[in-house]
Chains A and B, each alone.
Chain A
Amino acid sequence: MAGSLVQVDHFEISSAVSTVTLGGGSSGSSSTNFAINTDDIYMATYRNVYMTTDGRVPNVRLTVSGSADSNANYDNARMNLEVAAGHYDGGNNNSTSFPTIGRGTTSQESSQGMIYCYNFNSSSEYSFITWSEIVVTESPEYYDIYGGGVLTTTQATDGIQWVANSGTIANGEFTLYKVV
Chain B
Amino acid sequence: MSKSNKYGYSGVDIPSQAAFANVGKFDPAEINELVQEDKWTQYGQLELIETINASGVSAVAFDDFGDYNVHLLTFNNLSKNAGGGGYISMKFSADGGSSYTGNYPQALNMAEGTNFFDIKSTNYPYGVRIGQHGDATSEPSNGYCYLYNLTDSTKYTFVTQKSSNTPNSGVGGMIFGSHAHTTAQANNYLQIKYYFSSANLTGNLSLYGIKEYE
Contacts and interface: CB of A to CB of B under 8 A. Distances in A.
A143 B44 contact: no
Nearest to A109: B156
A132 B45 CA distance: 20
B121 interface: yes
B155 A134 contact: no
A42 to B, nearest CB: 12
Given A47-B149, A48-B149, A144-B160, A5 B120 contact: no
Interface string B60-83: 000000000110000000000000
A54 interface: no
A5 B46 contact: yes
7 contacts: A5-B45, A6-B43, A47-B70, A83-B106, A107-B149, A108-B155, A144-B160
B107 A82 contact: yes
A173 B212 contact: yes
Nearest to B46: A5
Return the 5 tightest CB-CB contacts between A and B, nearest first. Answer: A144-B178, A134-B178, A81-B107, A112-B148, A4-B44
Contacts of B154: 107
A144 B177 contact: yes
Interface residues of A, number: 35
A114 B146 CA distance: 9
B210 interface: yes
B176 interface: yes
Dominant SS at the B interface? strand
Nearest to A135: B178
Nearest to B119: A81
Contact of A83 (B122, B148, B149, B211): B122
A10 interface: yes
Interface string A112-147: 111000000000000000001110100000111010
Nearest to B124: A83
Contacts of A133: 160, 178
B95 interface: no
Of B69, B178, B179, most A-chain CB atoms within 10 Å: B178
Contact of A47 (B45, B105, B148): B148
Contact of B213 (A7, A83, A84, A112): A7
A173 B69 contact: yes
B142 to A, nearest CB: 17
B214 A142 contact: no
Given A112-B149, A142-B107, A81 B212 contact: no
Contact of B69 (A5, A32, A47): A47
A36 B120 CA distance: 38
Contacts of A112: 148-149, 158, 160
Contacts of A173: 69, 212
B146 to A, nearest CB: 7
B213 to A, nearest CB: 6
Interface string B152-185: 0011101110100000000000001111101010
